[in-house]
Amino acid sequence: MMTTVSTTIAGKQITIETGRLAKQADGSVLVTCGNNSVLVTAVSAKDPKPGQGFFPLTVEFIEKFYAIGKIPGGYFKREGKPSNESVLSARIIDRPIRPLFPEGYLNDTQVVATILSADGSVSMDVLASVGASAALHISNIPFSGPTAACHVARVDGQFVALPTPEQLAKSDMDILVSGTKNGILMVEGEAKFISEADALAALKFGHNTLIALLQIQDELREKTGSKQKRDFSPAVIDSDFRAQAESVMKPLVEKALSMKIKQERYAGFAAAMTEVSTQVLSKITDDKLKSQRSSEAKSIFEDLQYKVARSMILDKGHRIDGRDLKTVRAISSEVGLLPRAHGSGLFTRGETQCLGTVTLGTADDEQSIETLNGTFKKKFLLHYNFPPYSVGEVGRFGGQGRREIGHGNLAERAVKAVLPDFASFPYTIRVVGEVLESNGSSSMGTVCAAVLALLDAGVKIKHNVAGIAMGLIKESDRVAVLSDILGDEDHLGDMDFKVAGTTTGITALQMDIKIDSVSFQVMETALNQAREGRLHILNEMEKVMKAPRGQLSEFAPRIETIKIRPDKIREVIGSGGKVIRGITEQTGVKIEIQDDGTINIASSDPLATKRAIEIIQGICAEAEVGKVYKGKVIKIAEFGAFVEILPNTQGLLHISELANERVRLVTDVLNEGDVVDVKVLEVDRAGRIKLSRKALLTQ
């Protein structure tokens, strides 16, 4: 039986329906808002995956081009692998629901969001995120939701929920907030130098907006019969074995957690596992039981690591590497490392090291992206790479994972706000962040390395940007907010809150909560503490380079910009592109023409650029009365000759204006192909040009 619930957010009605589509899934809903619809299904295996050591949740966000009445481009004419935008949307759905599954739940679980209809007026991320929660909430899958999501913008000083593309274009922020009735679980967004107070106000506004979406999910569950959740109890480890393993491992784990260097600490962890294997596991003779106990020993080790590290921070105020709660790790910066890259910067913070590179290109280098909201071009690209050697591991190469795409997008948003306007700096900019070492917050390290590389490249950025990752340890009413977290603190903590910005405000933020929620008071503390850390990092970076270099790299293309009348564009391009193609072949430059008559000419050879400009200006030049031109005779007629005085511009040299004496035949004086000096006598209202050779002879 079909069941529906609805609510209205910012004047937009959102409806959740179940019982009509995909009924064999454990949970299935259709979420609709106007002409926008997304089908979201949730399925979880009935039994845990053998040997699984983590929760195997996958989220797929599938864009169908029939949703916008369009046939996909390309040879195969069907949707291919997920785009980066789809991957980012899947991450937005995944992050708030993941912490709400019970600890120890190891059943393969899959959420699939399929876009069925879209008109671009509403963010499909929001509808899909709400649908994922609703599908899980009405199913028998153990899930302690519901959750909901909402985009927040600010237009003319007023917060707006579920903004339209037109409102986002005028907004100084675009922040997506996800959470439960108890608080926020996930934040992802960008901003134009907003204050910490404004960011907090936006989060509060977003959370208040979520309440109605949470309520209709509870209503839907009630209407569908409040299906009983599956019985689930995490595996229980034998208490005697736990006591034996802990007695062996605990002193070694405590010793390891006092080691400041990551590799030494991990060697200490390995020693703890080796020791329990030697002293405890070796005494077990039954192979099946030994295998089970070996797996359980890993769980006991992780529990010990979790408890000891958190106790150190909350009880003693000491972190794993010996810092207090607010201190940022030692920072070093370098620029100009790579001679052929157009800009390069190396940023090292503790044991996290990122190399940033900048390459400047022309309009030909823009990335064209086909999405459900249309095809658009990107002039700024930031790519993040996380090779396995950065953490001392062996791994495969071959494309970017979801984490790399997500971290790259966050860093791109952080830097995008400070780039110069395209009109003043008409380059396509590609930044690549190579993580060379990682021990916490490589995405924020990439932001810092990218800015150093942009400064080195001579890109006139508006402000310098730095980023920092904040952490949280919370036990009951005891709370510790950590600045510049290590990888272990991220893994063992309750929050990962990344904030990037300038001295004047925030440009990007991302937060994930691993517990039920945190109070806005804690978030305010984290934001203010992040600002202190960010300003410190900026100060350290600016000791090496504060302002952009005064010139571009010798290997970067030079782009000169000229302006012509829009009605002359056709002449510069020529029939079938013949004229512009001829200019590029003759000079070797790249030419980009915009609809308003702006022309960008790019080349590493200044003389070639100058020659191309001269040719274009010649094409666009107009005849001036009284001016003398050297023209070429194009055609002979009985009454005179047609002379080309400028490219694609001809005038009539009447037979009476050929010479002082009377001329019987034009060919007595001129023939086709002759070059002759002529003076412009008149340009009439129709643009016809009257020329004279005689006027020059009498002078």
Please indicate whether residue 498 or residue 280 has the higher confidence score (pLDDT). Answer: 498
Domain at 266, CATH number: 1.10.10.400
* pLDDT tens-digit series, residues 101-116: 998 899 999 999 999 9
The domain boundary residue, chosen from 223, 255, 288: 223
**At which residue do the structure tokens 């070639």 appear?**
608
Number of structural domains (the chain) is 5
Output DSSP code: residue 22: -
Instruction: Identify whether residues 488 and 567 lie together within a single domain.
Output: no
Res 377 pLDDT > 90: no
| Cα–Cα distance, 654 to 683 (Å, whole number) | 14
Residues 503 and 530 in one domain: yes
Q: Provide mean pLDDT across the span 166-183.
A: 94
| Mean pLDDT value of segment 575-595 | 89
For 41-91, write each residue's pLDDT tens digit.
Answer: 999 999 887 777 788 999 999 999 999 998 887 788 888 888 899 999 999
Write down the pLDDT at residue 619: 83
What confidence tens digit (pLDDT) does each residue in 410-430 have?
A: 999 999 999 999 888 999 999
- Summarised one tens digit per residue, pLDDT across range 618-632 is 888 778 888 888 889
Main-chain phi, psi angles of 187, to 5 degrees = -135, 140
Give the least confident one: 454-463, 467-476, 597-606: 597-606
Phi-psi region of 526 (alpha: psi -120 to 50; beta: other; left: phi over 0): alpha
At 191 the pLDDT is 96
Find the range with the poorest average confidence among 367-376, 487-496, 547-556.
Answer: 367-376
Which of 418, 378, 382 minimizes the C-alpha distance to 191?
418
pLDDT digits (tens, 9 = 90+) for 237-253: 888 888 998 898 889 98
pLDDT per position as a tens digit, 15-53: 999 999 999 999 999 999 999 999 999 999 998 877 777
7 confidence band (pLDDT: 50, 70, 90)? very high
What whole-number distance in Å separates Cα of residue 681 and Cα of residue 690?
A: 5
Helix (H/G/I), strand (E/B), else coil: 72: coil
pLDDT in tens, 138-148: 999 999 989 99
Q: How far apart are the C-alpha atoms of 421 and 598, rounded to whole Å?
A: 15
Residue 164 lies in a domain: yes
Q: Are residues 414 and 513 in the same domain?
A: yes
- Whether residues 516 and 655 share a domain: the answer is no
The answer to whether residues 580 and 678 belong to one domain is no
pLDDT at 698 exceeding the cut of 70: no
Q: What is the pLDDT of residue 699?
A: 52
pLDDT at residue 547 tops 90: yes
Where does the pLDDT of residue 352 fall: very low under 50, low under 70, confident under 90, or very high at 90 and above? very high
- Same structural domain for residues 466 and 402? yes
User: How many angstroms separate the CA atoms of 402 and 58, rounded?
Assistant: 11
Where among 161, 188, 223 does a domain terminate?
223
d(CA 239, CA 34): 56
Q: For residues 452 and 548, what is the distance between their CA atoms, to the nearest angstrom?
A: 9
Tell me which residue range forms the domain holding 271.
Answer: 239-316
- For the segment 259-283, the average pLDDT, to the nearest whole number, is 88
Q: Which residues pair with 590 in a beta bridge?
A: 602
In a domain, 481, yes or no: yes
Q: Which helix (H) or strand (E) segment is 14 a member of? A: strand 12-18
- Whether 410 and 526 map to the same domain: the answer is yes
Q: If you write DSSP's letter for every residue of 452-495 in order, what string do you get?
A: HHHHHHT---SS--EEEEEEEEEETTEEEEEES--HHHHHHSSE
Residue 290 CB neighbours (<10 A): 15
Query: Do 303 and 452 reside in the same domain of the chain?
Result: no
212 within domain boundaries? yes
pLDDT computed for residue 517 by the predictor:
78
CATH number at 667 reads 2.40.50.140
Structure confidence at residue 605 (pLDDT)? 84
Of the chain, the percentage scoring pLDDT greater than 90 comes to 55
- Per residue in 284-343, pLDDT (tens digit) is 888 888 888 888 888 888 889 989 889 989 988 888 888 999 999 999 999 999 999 999
Q: How far apart are the first and last CA of the chain?
A: 99
Provide the whole-model pTM.
Answer: 0.86
Average pLDDT, rounded, for the chain: 91
Q: What is the CATH number of the domain that holds 535?
A: 3.30.230.70
pLDDT at 276 over 60: yes
**Cα Dmax for the chain:** 125
**Residue 601 neighbours by CB under 8 Å, 6+ apart:** 559, 560, 561, 562, 589, 590, 591, 609, 612, 613, 616
